[in-house]
Amino acid sequence: MYVRGPCSVISMPKTRNAKSTPSRPRADLAVIGGSGLYAMEGLERVREARVSTPFGRPSDAVVLGVLAGRRVAFLARHGRGHRISPSMINYRANIYALKSLGVTRIFSVSAVGSMKEHIHPGHLALPDSFLDRTTKRASTFFDQGLVAHVAFADPVCPVLTAQLAEAARALGVMCHEGGAYLCMEGPQFSTRAESRLYRHWGVDMIGMTNATEAKLAREAEICYATMALVTDYDCWHESESAVSVEGVLAIMRRNVEQAKKMLRHVIRQPTPPVACACPTALRGAILTAPEAMTASVKRRYRLFLKAPPAGASNGRA
Ligand SMILES: [Zn+2]
């Protein structure tokens, strides 16, 4: 069904019928925008896809368009208007919706607090690891009749992260490469005791969303990299005032502009060759025997089951 408006709105049918959709929009590359980044400027031939998934509804319609000749998808993590809190985001539907549209690479943009003196508010950071302290959200697709254990030692895609680092150097953006991102449940910010503890653990930044997205992107065999926008020093810093929404928003407006420049730079670059294990993360990771999968399980995991079946030898549980 097509609805005319400022741009075309495409209601995607249930995924099992998706192949028959006329003029099905596709995109290889996606941007998930967090706090402060609710739209991608410069997209042409814009359409919106409202995607139904076996995991529920995504945060918003996926906006599809063309930028520098490349098909790009954009999804507002919290929904346009910032309606959905970190705990209530349907991360599974978001990642599944992008996968169903053909996305193989996700650049994630999100605000973080700095846990290190030298990572100043206003800087950007490219974490290469996560510490997941969330408790209230689904962080795996594989919870109903299908068991899979993907490798997650290196949770972000090295190829995409290198592209972001190159963009930062080319544009003269202050960007820290590497570091551990602690993902807290929120929505409250940390207590001072928590903040001091996390610093003792050696983490570099703190946020509320990206570990969950990274886990699901890996299970979906999508390359995923985080562009973290540093907005504050959490509340551990002795001479800087504790984090507040007002302070975060003021800094965020400035570094969202830098993030947009970096994304436009990356999107204009040629697609790098596949030199990572993300697209084959499920190879040998599904332990459930095909004959033990019900028809409904096969439907639910249709997009995941092209991977070669079980290699039971790598099971741990
Ligand atoms: Zn990758």
Radius of gyration of the chain measured on its C-alpha atoms: 19
Query: 241-276, pLDDT tens digit by residue?
Result: 777 887 778 788 888 999 999 999 999 999 888 899
Query: 175-201, pLDDT tens digit by residue?
Result: 999 999 999 999 999 999 999 999 999
Distance 231 CA to ligand 1 centre (A): 27
Distance 157 CA to ligand 1 centre (A): 4
Active-site position among 60, 128, 204, 234 = 234
List CB-based neighbours of ion ligand 1 within 5 Å.
157, 223, 276, 278
User: Does the pTM of the predicted model rise above 0.85?
Assistant: yes
The full 3-state SS of the chain, as one line of letters, equals: CEECCCCEEEECCCHHHHHHCCCCCCCCEEEEECCCCCCCCCCEEEEEEECCECCECCCCCEEEEEECCEEEEEEECCCCCCCCCHHHCCHHHHHHHHHHCCCCEEEEEEEEEECCCCCCCCCEEECCEEEECCCCCCCCCCCCCCCECCCCCCCCCHHHHHHHHHHHHHHCCCEEECCEEEECCCCCCCCHHHHHHHHHHCCCEEECCHHHHHHHHHHCCCEEEEEEEEEECCCCCCCCCCCCHHHHHHHHHHHHHHHHHHHHHHHHCCCCCCCCCHHHCCCCCECCCHHHCCHHHHHHCHHHCCCCCCCHHHCCC
Distance 244 CA to ligand 1 centre (A): 35
Query: 276-286, pLDDT tens digit by residue?
Result: 999 999 999 99
Across the chain, what does the average pLDDT equal? Answer: 89
Active-site annotation holds for 234? yes
- pLDDT of 223 > 90? The answer is yes
Q: What is the mean pLDDT of residues 286-297?
A: 96
CATH of 2-280, one of 1.10.1040.10, 3.40.50.1580, 3.30.470.20, 3.10.20.740: 3.40.50.1580
- pLDDT of 148 > 60? The answer is yes
- What is the pLDDT, as a whole number, of residue 300? 96
Distance 162 CA to ligand 1 centre (A): 10
Distance 192 CA to ligand 1 centre (A): 36
Active-site annotation holds for 60? no
User: CA 175 → CA 126, 154, 159, 194, distances in Å?
Assistant: 7, 20, 16, 26
Confidence of residue 23 (pLDDT cuts 50, 70, 90): low
Q: Do residues 286 and 146 touch, judged by C-beta distance below 8 A?
A: yes
Distance 112 CA to ligand 1 centre (A): 23
Distance 279 CA to ligand 1 centre (A): 7
- What is the pLDDT, as a whole number, of residue 15? 42
Sequence ranges of the domains in the chain: 2-280
Q: Do residues 156 and 225 touch, judged by C-beta distance below 8 A?
A: yes
